[in-house]
Amino acid sequence: MSDIIAESLLYQNVMESLHSAGELININQNALERLKRPRRSIIVSIPVYMDDGNITVFRGYRVQHNQTLGPFKGGLRYHPSVNLSEVAGLASLMTFKNSLLGLPLGGAKGGVEVNPNSLSKTELQRLTRSFTTELGPFIGPDKDIPAPDVGTDSQTMAWMLDTYSAENGFAQTGVVTGKPIEIGGSMGRDSATGLGVVYIMDKALQTMNKKMSESTMAIQGFGKVGMHAAIEADALGAKVVAVSDVTCAIYDPNGLNIKELVEYIKEHRILKDYPKAQQITNDELLSLDVDVLAPCALDGVIREDNADIVKAKIIIEGANGPVTMSANQMLFEKGILVVPDILANGGGVVVSYFEWVQDIVWLFWTEEEVRSKLQSIMYRSFDKVFEFSQKNQKNMRASAMAVSLMRLEKAMLLRGLAW
């Protein structure tokens, strides 16, 4: 296991952050050792009866990193590059994210090594049901609660819920989150990550005595996170001047018409050939002189070799790891505030937590209640990290990990898991 994990750059980066933040707070060494390796790593074979009559066996994973604070929680992704080391790194990050956000949850992650676009809907359903059966002994409302991630969605979760419930004899809606509203999903779940990005943007602007209505924003990525971030920022009065997708980036210094753009995407699916804005490259988007730059798509887009082109005063990491470790330090030294992914894109898991709570008590909240509770948690979490950053003169990434580790360390010591 350790040899496989060591091959992953993601896992190595997580461990580097863990050790660096551990030194910063002088973490108990026994607690540190417990956090360096997952508690449990599950590899399963998933036989699927294909539409052509043949059986294909896929490989699936679930890594349960740490449950000191509560049941394991984390997404499931369907992607050709899914492997044990990547999943282990992401599971670790979920532990630290849940701790930072003050949630009573541990960290987990999972996935299947598959291109979901190559399967029919019936094949995807068979794959999901077979995977759920294999994971059955290890998941549950009080054990481990999966959620959608790359390549999965609310339909995937609905199939998982049905399979798990059928095998246990009664409906257990709390076994997964990110479900359709009709079967126990939460209001506000679809927009949660993007909305959380905007709440963090608001707090970051306040540190510079700026208001949303006075600010400009560029968003790299216009998918699930980026689109909702644009919608919410626009609704609060910010001027979104640029967005991008895999085909191009578009720019209007006077601000894009976000409502019109969303309708255009629904019809055409891509930004290319959008007629009412200037087409630019993704690199040009990263270099725009705006108040806030929100990378909401790929990891590693801001690196040591291009960090010097960034002119934004604030970077909000809507994606996982869009700013590399070396670039992060360069930007910090330039006076650019980088709010790390562990904090900035936490809105999704917060509302997943809300969904789990609602399912357990069978009492559901309005969208206004969900948004209000999400804002409270995101604001409180930002304040803790920013206060630590100012007090210790450290960048926000190191500070976020340090704040997360302090909660984990205290819980582990109290429970006797370290001494």
Encode pLDDT of 234-271 as tens digits: 999 999 999 999 899 999 999 999 999 999 999 998 99
The verdict on whether 143 is a catalytic residue reads no
pLDDT at position 7: 59
How many C-beta neighbours within 10 Å does residue 221 have? 26
Nearest one of 288, 328, 289, 293 to 201, comparing CA atoms: 293
Contact 314, 337 (CB under 8 A): yes
**Is 1.10.1380.10 the CATH classification of the domain at 192-335?**
no
pLDDT at position 326: 87
pLDDT at position 5: 47
154 CB contacts (<8 Å, ≥6 apart)?
148, 178, 179, 180, 185
Query: Would you say residue 325 has pLDDT above 90?
Result: no
CA torsion sign for 394, 395, 398, 402 is positive
Tens of pLDDT, residue by residue over 70-122, are 999 999 999 999 999 989 999 999 999 999 999 999 999 999 999 999 999 99
For residue 300, name the pLDDT band (cuts at 50, 70, 90): confident
**Is 3.40.50.10860 the CATH classification of the domain at 39-171?**
yes
Q: How many Å apart are CA 160 and CA 158, to the nearest integer? A: 5
Tokens of 153: 């969605």
pLDDT at position 13: 80
Tens of pLDDT, residue by residue over 175-217, are 999 999 999 999 999 899 999 999 999 999 999 999 999 999 9
Q: Is there a shared CATH topology between the 39-171 domain and the 192-335 domain?
A: yes
**Opening angle at CA 45, ends 176 and 1, nearest 5:** 90
Q: From the candidates 97, 109, 384, 394, which is the catalytic residue?
A: 109
- State CA 259 to chain mean position distance: 25
pLDDT at position 187: 96
DSSP of 324-385, one letter per residue? Answer: -HHHHHHHHHTT-EEE-HHHHTTHHHHHHHHHHHHHHHT----HHHHHHHHHHHHHHHHHHH
Domain ranges of the chain: 39-171, 192-335
Tokens of 68: 């000191």
Tens of pLDDT, residue by residue over 10-33, are 788 888 889 999 999 999 999 999
**Predicted structure pTM score:** 0.93
Tens of pLDDT, residue by residue over 328-372, are 999 999 999 999 999 999 999 999 999 999 999 999 999 999 999
Q: How many Å apart are CA 310 and CA 315, to the nearest integer? A: 9
